[in-house]
Chain A
Amino acid sequence: MGFIYLDHQSGTPLHPKVQEAMIQHIQTIFGNPSSDHQVGQPAAAVLEKARAQTAALINANPPEIVFTSGGTESNNQAIKGVAIGLREKGRHIITSNIEHKSVLNSLRTLRLLDYRVTSLDVDQYGLVDPAAVEKAITPETILISVMLANNEIGTIEPIAKIAEVAKKHKIVMHTDAVAATGNIPVDVQELGVNLLSLAANQFYGPSGVGALYIRKGTPVWPLLDGGTQENKRRAGTENLIGIVGLGTAAELAKEAIPARQARLRALKERLEQGIKARIPEIHVNGHPTLNLPHLLSVSVEYIEGESLMLMLDDEGIVVATRSACASGSLRASHVLIGTGMDFATAQGTLVFTLGEENTDAEIDRVLEVMPGIVQTLREMSPLYKKSPH
């Protein structure tokens, strides 16, 4: 590859074994898993194998896995599905200020339908306080949705504690674990959640496929109506090749996570310390210890993130400004603003997400190139002149 890829959160490259499995199945399987004949049944077997592989990654039972088109659909399905499923019980939902847009905008839709939403503030590290969650609960509350790890700053939330609160008050608990799953161990029993979203493109599987874990008995109404696929939770003929990719990636991830975590954290440490040593006036975002091993969010004072990203891109270094999903909109990141950062500093934020193929040499190349680019942009910035230097 002619570039250094440090934007794994926007999509990981396919693991060669995932690629191999997908190609093999595209050549051999074309049946519909719902057909009870000799062409359909092998497809059904493949589907159920992938379900078992995906369930094993998060310590779930296979029937509790519903395949979706990715993290966005899983989050939509979880939130809107519970809202519909429990509409006779109440219309109040609790979330945090730093959720992914697929959560925030699902709640936007529910507000249009007269649901009430309490969006909790986070602290400077992006942490949600379980006590604040408990305080926000009303007799009308039907759902709590807080992400397992934030996709922009990497902070890992106290989901097990929040889920305990939810359980105590008999409220359904959902966690968006898209950024976390495949990068850190995720165990639905330990977390105690009812619903959990994950996506294959975060752990070397394909884009366009993910899953929603639905703990048995959780009242989730389907979003896509039709046939009885996916335990009547998600109609439509399955994206079988994508699901094979997800299942294979899940199996590989389960095995790889302990070593992957340690290796990526060491690489991140090299990057973080190197940037801190070479570039003055920067902020490392997120919690200092409770964070994703592969994600480094850095805000660079006096300059704007997109121009920094484009200049690094020109040098063959691929990074993200905030998150790819948010980069289409021109507002400062709601996550960084949520942590109390000022708008100008938030604009100058880069998110590095490291992956399996990254090396020390690649990190060193970033450290070699980035200080000069930052200085060039600072010299161009009207904000820089106002500080002593």
Chain B
Amino acid sequence: MAYSPIVMDHFKTPRNVGEITEADGLGEVGNPVCGDMMSVYIKVEGDRIADIKFKTFGCGAAIAVSSMITELAKGKTLEEAMKIKNSDVAKALGGLPPNKLHCSNLGADALHSAIKNYLDRKSGKVVAKEEGEPHHPEKGAACYCPYCEKKVEEESPFCIFCGKEMPHEHDH
């Protein structure tokens, strides 16, 4: 489960940490139940992201992802920034351990959410965003096989009903 040197660099010296007072857009995703929570603040000038900052509650990968997504988005047009995918963040970080790939989802989701929030505010749909939506739907305590949908034991290596390998927990 080792992190790449780029991940460790962004984790140890994260770029763009903090909040922007009077931000034009705020994206909040995740919740501590799932392990990670991220807030992204953007300042928009024209159609470009002039400034971007983040705050993250999460593991080393989540912090590195937050740092990298802000670096990737800074200076980009909103249209370009909306096209940044989870896989772009993971790639820019030199890869993530398989069980941490879900952290890269959080980064792109938070960025896109901040841009949408900006666009919504601009069009008068919302005034300001207060609380984030839960990133992961809560499935309750039970685990279900994603292939045959039968109820299976937690951390099963494979589904005893259909035989398929079970994906790693919380990998999306």
Chain A residues packing against B (C-beta within 8 Å): 105, 108, 111-112, 302-304, 306-307, 310-311, 314, 328-332, 343-344, 347, 379-383, 385
Contacts and interface: CB of A to CB of B under 8 A. Distances in A.
Interface in B1-49: 1, 8, 11-12, 14, 17-19, 28, 32-39
Interface string B51-66: 0000111111011000
B155 interface: yes
A139 B99 CA distance: 43
Nearest to B17: A380
> Looking at chain A's contact residues, is the secondary structure mostly helix, strand, loop, or mixed?
helix
Contacts of A105: 155
Nearest to A379: B17
A329 B155 contact: yes
Contacts of B17: 379-380
Given A307-B11, A329-B169, A382-B38, A111 B153 contact: yes
B154 interface: yes
A111 B153 CA distance: 9
Contacts of A347: 32, 35, 57
Given A111-B153, A382-B38, A344 B32 contact: yes
B132 to A, nearest CB: 9
Given A328-B99, A379-B18, 5 more contacts: A112-B160, A310-B60, A344-B33, A380-B17, A383-B57
Nearest to B97: A328
B160 A381 contact: no
B170 interface: yes
Contact of B55 (A304, A311, A330, A380): A380
A382 B28 contact: yes
A314 B99 CA distance: 22
15 contacts: A108-B153, A304-B58, A307-B11, A330-B35, A330-B170, A331-B35, A331-B170, A344-B33, A347-B32, A347-B35, A347-B57, A379-B17, A381-B56, A382-B28, A382-B56
Nearest to A346: B32
Contact of A332 (B35, B39, B58, B60): B35
A373 to B, nearest CB: 11
A385 B153 CA distance: 38
B154 A304 contact: no
Given A303-B57, A304-B57, A311-B12, A382 B39 contact: yes
A98 to B, nearest CB: 15
A332 B33 contact: yes
Nearest to A334: B154
Contacts of A383: 32, 37, 57
A347 B8 CA distance: 20
A302 B55 CA distance: 12
A128 B137 CA distance: 32
B3 to A, nearest CB: 8
Contacts of B169: 329-331
A382 B57 contact: yes
Nearest to A310: B60
Contacts of B60: 306-307, 310
- Which A-B residue pairs are the 9 nearest by beta carbons? A344-B32, A306-B59, A382-B55, A382-B39, A343-B33, A381-B57, A108-B153, A310-B60, A330-B170
